[in-house]
Every structure is written in C-alpha cells, then in structure tokens.
C-alpha cells in the first residue's frame, strides 16, 4: 500500500495520555505520516486534574488552512477528536473542503461526553455544532460512545438498555445523515461490552470482556487504532475489532498500576501487537 499522509485535529494535553499524545504515536506506529493541528494546549486533560492551564488555538485554524491551501498540501484522511469550541468545528469543515484528497476519508470522533454527561466545557450549542459535523455529507465515519450517540440522536441516554434501544439510536443517527457508525461501549451483559458497526443498511457486532472500572483515554486509544487500521486498508468492522482487541490489551496492561496510573492507559508497550494485528 502507498505511503500515506493523514491529518489529525485534537488538543495537546501535555500530560494525561489522551488526544494528540495518543493519536500521534499510534498512527505513526501504523506506518502513517501523521500531520497534526492542535486545537488547544492544556497542561493536563480535564478529567481528574484540577487547575490545568488552557491555551486556545482557534485563531490559528484559518491561518494554517490558508497556508496549507497555498502550498497545495493534501491529506489521504482527516481524523478529528476533542475540539475546543463551535468555531473550530466550522473551521474543520473548511480544512476538509480544502485539504482532503479527492476520495480521502473524513473520520469524526465526537469526543464530548461519557457516562451520560457532557465533558465540563461543553454545552448544547457545542452538541448542535457537532451534529453538523457528524451528519455532514463529507463525513464518512463517526465513532460515538453511547452517551455521545444519544446527544447526537436527540434520544434520552439510558444506563440500562436493550438491543431495541441501540437499534433506535443507530437508526436515528443514519436518518440524520450519518454514513458509517462505529458505536462503542455497547454492553448487553455484565462483564461484556463491544462495538457495533453499522453501514450500508446492515450492522455487525463484536463483543469482548469488559473491565468494570473504566480508564480515562480509552476512547482516544480506540479511535486512533481504528483510524490506523482502517487507513491501512481494513474494512470498518475489521478495523473496529482490531482496535477493540488493542484497547482491551492496553486496559489489561494498566490494571497493575491503576493507583498511580489513574489518568490514562499504558498503550505504548502494546503497540507491537497492534502493528502485528494490522499485518504491517
């Protein structure tokens, strides 16, 4: 497969193993040249640390886009994660319009919520802006968890649900314009969870072991591994399975250090397994 350059847009949390400090090493390990656009620089992520610093980079987006456009810089795929505000979401659309290769893929992880709640900085206005990105005709794949899917679909979040609820969520996302939906954290039994991939009118589900205590940053590890496997030619369901197995290994590896390593997952030592699973 030809050498490819992709772009990922999300924040730099300097410490905390999420967003760009996860995406960049995972995508590079997958053999992809990875360009970045940092949406903000924070001293740490916002989930558990207090007093973190935050430098917003929204004003850089249109300037960087203009420069790339002038240079004729294009990307084989664009993958977005945690974005800082509604204006950034609008600028992302401009970047995709100007810099995504013809036939290139646009993958959106609407990283904004979990466990039934929006992350602290986000509001309904942000959710509405994220809907326009997820349901944009240029967007090929979205990777919500159940909380994010409920917000995007305008359906009440449920802690306890059945297959009918999940089917209704996924149908609502497609009805609103989503193409491929990769829905994570779909659990129908204690100690089990999984990922459902729905596209072209049919869906496939991959179930695996579920650790009771979630780890911060697993959504970013999962999405990055998915984008890596998918961009290297796996079909969406295969990429979803590879990413699930890899994320599970990372969570497993972190268990022994949970006390001191509460802020993220130890994903680095498991990278060779991801590379092997993709067949690189």
Smallest separation, CB 22 to ligand PXL (Å)? 8
Q: Residue holding tokens 């984008």?
A: 227
Q: How far is the CB of 250 from ligand PXL (least distance, A)?
A: 14
Which residue number, 215 or 236, has a Cβ lying nearer to ligand PXL? 215
Question: Which of 42, 244 has the CB closer to ligand PXL?
Answer: 42
Minimum distance of ligand PXL from residue 81's CB (angstroms): 7
Shortest distance (Å) from residue 154 CB to ligand PXL: 23
CB of 114 to ligand PXL, least distance (A): 8
| d(C-alpha 49, C-alpha 39), whole Å | 19
Determine if residue 13 is left, alpha or beta; phi over 0 gives left, psi from -120 to 50 gives alpha, anything else beta: beta
Identify the three-state secondary structure at position 263: coil
**Which lies closer to ligand PXL via its Cβ, residue 6 or residue 18?**
18
The residue among 80 and 180 lying less far from ligand PXL, judged by its C-beta, is 80
Report helix, strand or coil for 20. helix
Strand, coil or helix: what is 214? Answer: coil
* 111 or 248: CB nearest ligand PXL: 111
Non-local CB neighbours of 30 within 8 Å, separated by 6+ positions = 225, 228, 229, 231, 232, 274, 275, 278, 280
The minimum distance between CB 67 and ligand PXL, in angstroms, equals 25
Q: How far apart are CA 229 and CA 143, in angstroms?
A: 14
d(CA 163, CA 161): 7
Number of Cβ atoms within 10 Å of the Cβ of 185: 21
* Angle subtended by helix axes 146-153 and 163-175, to nearest 10: 50
Binding residues for ligand PXL (CB under 6 A) = 11, 13, 18-19, 42, 45-47, 82, 111, 119, 217, 219-220
Between 19 and 147, whose beta carbon lies closer to ligand PXL? 19
Q: Within 10 A of 63 (CB to CB), how many other CB atoms are there?
A: 9
């Amino acid at each position: 497969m030809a050498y490819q350059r992709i772009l990922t847009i999300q924040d730099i949390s300097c410490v905390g193993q999420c967003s760009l400090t996860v995406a960049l090493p995972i995508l590079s390990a997958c053999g992809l040249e990875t360009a970045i656009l940092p949406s903000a620089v924070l001293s740490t992520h916002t989930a558990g640390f207090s007093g973190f610093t935050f430098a917003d980079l929204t004003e850089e987006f249109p300037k960087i886009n203009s420069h790339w456009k002038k240079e004729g810089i294009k990307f084989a795929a664009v993958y977005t994660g945690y974005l800082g505000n509604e204006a950034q979401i609008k600028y992302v659309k401009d970047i995709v319009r100007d810099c995504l290769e013809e036939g290139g893929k646009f993958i959106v992880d609407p990283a904004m919520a979990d466990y039934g709640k929006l992350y602290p900085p986000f509001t309904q206005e942000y959710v509405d802006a994220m809907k326009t990105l997820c349901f944009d005709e240029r967007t090929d794949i979205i990777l919500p968890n159940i909380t994010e899917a409920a917000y995007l679909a305008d359906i009440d979040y449920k802690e306890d649900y059945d297959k009918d609820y999940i089917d209704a969520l996924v149908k609502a996302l497609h009805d609103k314009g989503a193409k491929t939906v990769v829905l994570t954290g779909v659990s129908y039994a204690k100690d089990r969870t999984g990922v459902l991939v729905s596209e072209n009118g049919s869906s496939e589900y991959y179930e695996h072991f579920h650790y009771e205590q979630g780890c911060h940053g697993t959504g970013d590890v999962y999405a990055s591994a998915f984008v890596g496997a998918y961009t290297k030619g796996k079909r969406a369901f295969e990429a979803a399975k590879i990413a699930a197995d890899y994320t599970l290994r990372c969570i497993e590896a972190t268990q022994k250090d949970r006390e001191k390593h509460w802020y993220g997952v130890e994903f680095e030592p498991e990278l060779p397994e991801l590379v092997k699973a993709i067949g690189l």
